[in-house]
């Protein structure tokens, strides 16, 4: 075989099956904390009218309750209505304490 006809090495991403890719995506779930609940916004981020600023509130220790209320004060009922369609989970006491102890 000619050295010029060698197949280039396959990148790890190219080897992954769709199932493996889906598992990786699941582990990269993005959530915001609002009023004691975490809302999964992973698939909603591209549709957020304010752009990617919402990603800031997915960081560990961030509580989006007050920012959401401030940014959306005129349309809060509409925002909360949309949030009902998102997957949510109750924040644990430890997760809530994380937000209280955050230094600014």
User: Does 76 map to a domain?
Assistant: yes
Taking the C-alpha atoms of residue 17 and residue 45, their distance in angstroms, rounded to an integer, is 25
User: Does 23 map to a domain?
Assistant: no
CATH for 71: 3.10.120.10
pLDDT at 41: 96
SS3 content of the chain, % helix, strand, coil (to 5): 50, 10, 40
Q: Are 32 and 38 in contact (CB under 8 A)?
A: yes
User: Does 11 map to a domain?
Assistant: no
pLDDT, the chain, mean: 80
DSSP state of 11: P
User: Does 21 map to a domain?
Assistant: no
Give the pTM.
0.68
User: Does 17 map to a domain?
Assistant: no
User: Does 2 map to a domain?
Assistant: no
Per-residue pLDDT tens for 8-40? 454 444 444 555 555 455 568 999 999 999 999
Taking the C-alpha atoms of residue 99 and residue 41, their distance in angstroms, rounded to an integer, is 19
Task: Give residue 78's pLDDT band: very low, low, confident or very high (50, 70, 90).
Answer: very high
Task: Please tell me the total count of domains within the chain.
Answer: 1
Q: Are 42 and 88 in contact (CB under 8 A)?
A: no
Q: Are 90 and 37 in contact (CB under 8 A)?
A: yes
User: Does 12 map to a domain?
Assistant: no
What are the tokens at 77?
A: 């009922």
User: Does 67 map to a domain?
Assistant: yes
- Provide φ and ψ at 9, rounded to 5°: -60, 145
Range of the domain at 51: 30-100
């Amino acid at each position: 075989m000619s050295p010029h006809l060698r197949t280039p090495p396959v990148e790890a991403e190219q080897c992954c099956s769709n199932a493996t890719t889906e598992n990786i995506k699941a582990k990269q779930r993005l959530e915001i904390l609002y009023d004691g609940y975490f809302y999964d916004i992973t698939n909603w981020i591209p549709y957020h009218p304010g752009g990617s600023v919402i990603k800031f509130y997915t960081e560990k220790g961030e509580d989006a309750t007050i920012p959401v209320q401030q940014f959306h004060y005129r349309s809060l009922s509409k925002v909360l209505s949309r949030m009902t369609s998102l997957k949510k989970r109750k924040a644990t006491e430890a997760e809530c304490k994380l937000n209280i102890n955050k230094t600014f």
